[in-house]
Every structure is written in C-alpha cells, then in structure tokens.
Amino acid sequence: MENLLWIFISALLVNNFVLTYFLGLCPFLGVSNSLETSFRLGLATTFVMLVTAICAWILNTYVLIHAPYLRLICFIVVIASTVQFIEMLIKKLSPALFRAMGIFLPLITTNCAILGLAIFATNRGYGFWEGIIYALGAGVGFTLAMVLLAGLREESELSSIPKLIQGTAMNLIIAGILSMAFMGFAGLFSST
C-alpha cells in the first residue's frame, strides 16, 4: 500500500512527466493558452493513460512474452485504436462531452506521454495495480503542469511584454522556471 502511494507521488511531483521527463510537450506548449481547455485536455489524457496502462499490462503478460521485439509496434497500434474506440464510445454515450473535447481526443494519439507511460511501466516491471496508480499519477501530474502553465500564460496576457519575447520563447522560459520549482520536490524521498 505504501509502495503504491510512493509511485503515485513520484509520478505526480518528483518525476513529473512534463517538467522532468519532457514528455507531452507538444500539447503542453501548443494548447495551453486557456485554463479551461488545458484542464479538459488533461482529464482526457489521464483517461487514455489509464486505459493504456491496462492494455499494456494485458499485452505484456499474455502476448509480448513470446515476441518482445514487437513491443513498440503493438503499443502504438493499441494506443491509436484505443483513442479511436474511446472517441466513438464518447460520441455515442455523451455527445455533449464529445463536443467539449473536440479535436483534443484524436490528438492524444501522438502525445508521447502516453507511449512513454507504457514503456516506462514495462521497463520498471510494474504489476497491474502499480501500473494503474502510475498512470493516474502521471495523468494528474500532466494536468497539473498544463493548468499551471495555462494560468501563468493567461496572467501574462494582461501585462505588457516586449514583442520579441512573446510566444514560444516566453513559454519555454516559464516552463523552465516551473521545472526548477518542481526540482524542489526531489528531496521528498530518496529511494527510487
């Protein structure tokens, strides 16, 4: 139980996917211009992460034992079809939610945080529950980073910033400072 808690906190804060591993930077820099959308995208990503973690565990346990070199191809196909499937499911069950998520759902396929999650969980030999908790931590961590950057960007729109630094350059420097702040969590625990 304690182990699971550490996995969660580690994925959420200490080894935050975006700010420490640099995964999922495309949506992080691309879609973080409003607080509302970045929160929604974070939730959708967390959901896909959870499903992927379960699928990856099933694949690892039953299929890939016999053919480890097919791992990458299997994972990417599974992720792409999961996203497609979830998209259809949401469209059928809750059209309102589908409209709210809009373009973000298909974009999740090319989010490297999802594939990264599946690969990291496999490399560390996580079991079923560990994998789920890890996915949850990573997803919430992703949402947290998105929301933090979006909040800062919304604030910065109200202040006068030199034209030269506006855009990606400023976002990267903000992200650097956020990342520095998150380094402070590294002292939370020492055992890896």
Partner 1 sequence: MKKNESYEEFIKGVWRDNPVFAQVLGMCPMLAVTNSAINAVAMGMATFFVLVGSSFLVSSFRNWIPKQVRISCFIIIIATFVTIADYTLLALVPTVHKELGAFIPLIVANCLILGRQEAFASRYPTRLAVMDAVGMAVGFLIALLSLGAVREILGDGALFGVKLFSVNFEPWVIMILPPGGFLTLGVILLFFNWFKFKKDEFLDDVAEAERRGS
Alpha helices in 1-127 (DSSP H): 2-9, 25-30, 35-58, 71-93, 95-101, 104-107, 112-123
Percent helix, strand, coil in the chain (nearest 5)? 80, 0, 20
Q: Is residue 23 at the binding interface for partner 1, with CB under 8 A as the rule?
A: yes
Q: Minimum distance from CB of 117 to partner 1 (Å)? A: 10
Task: At 137, list the tokens.
Answer: 């931590």
Distance from C-alpha of 105 to C-alpha of 21, rounded to nearest angstrom = 22
Interface residue with partner 1 among 127, 183, 184, 188 (CB under 8 A) is 183
Residue 172 touching partner 1 (CB under 8 A): yes
Per CB under 8 A, 66 contacts partner 1: no
| Choice between 51 and 170, CB closer to partner 1 | 170
Stretch that binds partner 1, among 35-43, 109-117, 129-137, 153-161 (CB under 8 A): 109-117
Q: Does the footprint of partner 1 cover residue 126 (CB under 8 A)?
A: no
Tell me if 88 contacts partner 1 by CB under 8 A. no
Query: Using the rule CB under 8 A, which residue among 5, 89, 177, 188 binds partner 1?
Result: 177
With H, G, I as helix, E, B as strand and everything else as coil, classify residue 44: helix
